[in-house]
Amino acid sequence: MELALEQARRAEALDEVPIGAVVVRDGRVLGRGHNRTRSRRDATAHAELAALRMAFRVTGDARLPGATVYTTVEPCFMCAGALSHARVARVVWGVRDEKFGGCASLGNVLGDARLNHRAEVEEGVGADEARDLLQRFFRNKRRESREA
């Protein structure tokens, strides 16, 4: 999770929502990424998707069985769907996303019995730092908005 938090800090340094993700299999980091939705003006430029894309390039595969994805924030429905399609074995996140979370908060894409693939999930890992990063980012954004 420390590598995912490092990616979140990189996002914050770029004035992006501080979310980071890494894909690991057999002790090897296959992919890493952080949010770039603001700089790329792309609503799909999420940390999890960037990490998955890198892992696909590294492995040459379209599936990642046996992989664990560490992400600082609960994946949204889009990312949860991609994680399911990628057939990752496990997803670990820091804090829930009460507004967009697709794995626990608003739905359970990764554990839905109607799907042909389900992933193990674990939440709360690195939660304090992930929460602090998000709170600081949005507090600063609100301050900037008031000063403008």
**Catalytic: which of 2, 12, 16, 48?**
48
Q: Is 48 a known active-site residue? A: yes
**Pick from 3, 8, 9: nearest CA to 22:** 3
Helix orientation angle between 47-59 and 77-85, rounded to the nearest 10 degrees: 20
Phi, then psi, of 142 in degrees rounded to 5: -65, -40
Q: Which amino acid is at 4?
A: A
With b for 16 or more beta-carbon neighbours within 10 A and e for fewer, the 104-136 pattern comes to: bbbebbbbeeeeeeebebebebbbebbeebbee
Q: Which residues are catalytic?
A: 48
